[in-house]
Amino acid sequence: MDSDAIAKMIDAMDKEIKNIRQEALQMSWYMRGGINYEQALQLSAMEREIISNIIKENMETTKKSGLPFF
């Protein structure tokens, strides 16, 4: 690999790390203590996706029901 390809790969990895951290922080916030940041980071990509889908479904249900979310 040349230096440009390596730099692009590092940039892509940095973006992926940022996305994983953001997703883990959001997940821990929405879970309100049900899972903390460190635990969220240890989840597999599939587990994070499943939990994110559950959160989205719960938010939609809350909006439809008119119940307060926060």
The answer to whether residue 70 is domain-embedded is no
| Structural domain span for residue 55 | 3-65
* Per-residue pLDDT at 7: 96
Task: Give SS3 for 45.
Answer: helix
Split into its structural domains, the chain has a count of 1
- The position carrying tokens 């790969």 is 9
pLDDT at 4 over 90: yes
Buried-exposed string 47-59: b where 16+ CB fall within 10 A, e elsewhere: ebeebeeeeeeee
51's tokens: 């939990």
Q: How confident is the model at residue 44 (pLDDT cuts 50, 70, 90)?
A: very high
Q: Share the mean pLDDT of the chain.
A: 92
CA 41 to chain CA centroid, nearest Å: 9
Q: Is the pTM of this model over 0.75?
A: yes
For residue 38, being part of any structural domain is answered with yes
